[in-house]
Amino acid sequence: MTTADADGLTVAPLTRPIDATVRPPGSKSLTNRALVCAALAEGRSVLDGALFADDTAAMAGALRALGAVVGEDEAKGRMEVLGTGGALNPGPVSVDVRLSGTTSRFLLPVVALGEGRYRVDGGPPLRARPMGPVLDGIRALGAAVVEEDEPGHLPVTIVAPGGLVGGEVRVAGDTSSQFLSGLLLAAPYAAGGVDLSLTTGLVSRPYVTLTAAVMKAFAVTVVEDEAGGFHVPAGHYWACEYPIEPDASAASYFLAAAAIAGGRVTIAGLGSETLQGDARFADVLADMGASVTRTDDSTTVAMDGPLRGLGDVDMSDLPDMAQTLAVVATFADRPTRVRGVGFIRGHETDRIAAVVRELRRCGIDASEEDDGFVVRPGEPRPARIETYDDHRMAMSFALLGLRAAGITIADPDCVAKTFPAYWRELDALRSPGEPARAL
């Protein structure tokens, strides 16, 4: 039973191993990338299996302000988009990206394709997140950027010249791959095409691969050279019917639940051919002792033995899984050091400091490092987990409560950013003989 009150939402421990099949909502990463391509495309696109959550609502609303027609049928999981053909509403236009990092970093280059002044702003937590590399890329493409407060942060006004010339752009990739993805998504509409090269290493590379795959579905091919640069020819997106598979990041919480509580969880609709990098979290669980089975359209994690600590693991390509791994590692047989994720300090919250602080609140020995953290296993004590307006803190730390009594999640509604039905789906892991949920 999962109960909610003024203190938050308390997760009751499971009394039996899990035996469940789950189909998470559509991928946020795919939905927001496809929305951008469809909004710039010629014609009407249909996105089947789309995610309906705060982040995708932010994207859809911003694209409407720019001239796209976005129709939504949440009951069918479908969005229909009548694209602009690259002809955006001229400025002045105000674009509210709310709390969505993908919306802000994808649309800043897109509005530079228009003509006039486009003011882009979001909520206070998003204003704290860095935007410098994508703003530098916009300047290199020929648009002006007016920063209103702290340099490299929202709010900003893009003064678009009525068409970008294109050319060579150098961008840093060590803070977020979203900067590169945003520039790639807008690049086909630059008159001379765009050549993008990296000035640093690239974190979260699978997300860039995902961007290129979505662009290809809308008829634009990204070419990566041997030196790691990217060329996007001048062209146009063309409307299409685009199927969106379940979100691999959302799936990770249910796979982790099987590893923590024992039993089996199958994720329907997420199979061996997915390009979502976070689907590889199942392999991390396999290294910890779980059994992983993949088919063309499903992934199953089963656990019937002890969890093994990983010792040392590089999560730079799976940064959104770091918090989930921290919770799983709490129940392992030896410490786990997570490294390569220093850049997640600049996500919705400082996800390294927050993970360590909340594990310690539960009595777990954890420590920060420059690029990650160390978790030393133990038995969690009852605690009220602060979530810092971070959906992934809420969803990952709730998993502690599947095995430890007294875990309460503060501000549980923050999961609406990407997974509004999370608490209902988490409670559905309980077998028929367990107490019914109370939400």
Task: Report whether 22 contacts 254 (CB < 8 A).
Answer: yes
User: CA-CA-CA-CA torsion for 38, 39, 40, 41, nearest 10 degrees?
Assistant: 40
Helix (H) or strand (E) holding 417: none
Active site (catalytic) residues:
320
CA distance 231 to 194: 6
Nearest by Cα to 68 from 31, 115, 35, 113: 35
Task: Report whether 12 contacts 207 (CB < 8 A).
Answer: no
> CA separation (Å) from 83 to 52, 67, 71, 243, 428?
19, 8, 11, 17, 38
User: Who contacts 406 (Cβ-Cβ below 8 Å, separation ≥6)?
Assistant: 10, 381, 382, 383
User: Who contacts 413 (Cβ-Cβ below 8 Å, separation ≥6)?
Assistant: none
CA distance 405 to 78: 39
CA distance 326 to 313: 11
CA distance 319 to 339: 10
CA distance 205 to 213: 13
Q: Are strands 291-295 and 311-314 parallel, antiparallel or unpaired?
A: unpaired
CA distance 250 to 395: 9
Task: Report whether 312 contacts 333 (CB < 8 A).
Answer: no
DSSP string, 372-409: EEEEE---PPPEEE--TT-HHHHHHHGGGGGTSTTEEE
Phi first, then psi: give them for residue 150, nearest 5 degrees. Answer: -75, 130
Q: Are strands 291-295 and 298-303 parallel, antiparallel or unpaired?
A: antiparallel
Beta-sheet strand order (sheet of 44-48):
69-73, 78-82, 44-48, 241-243
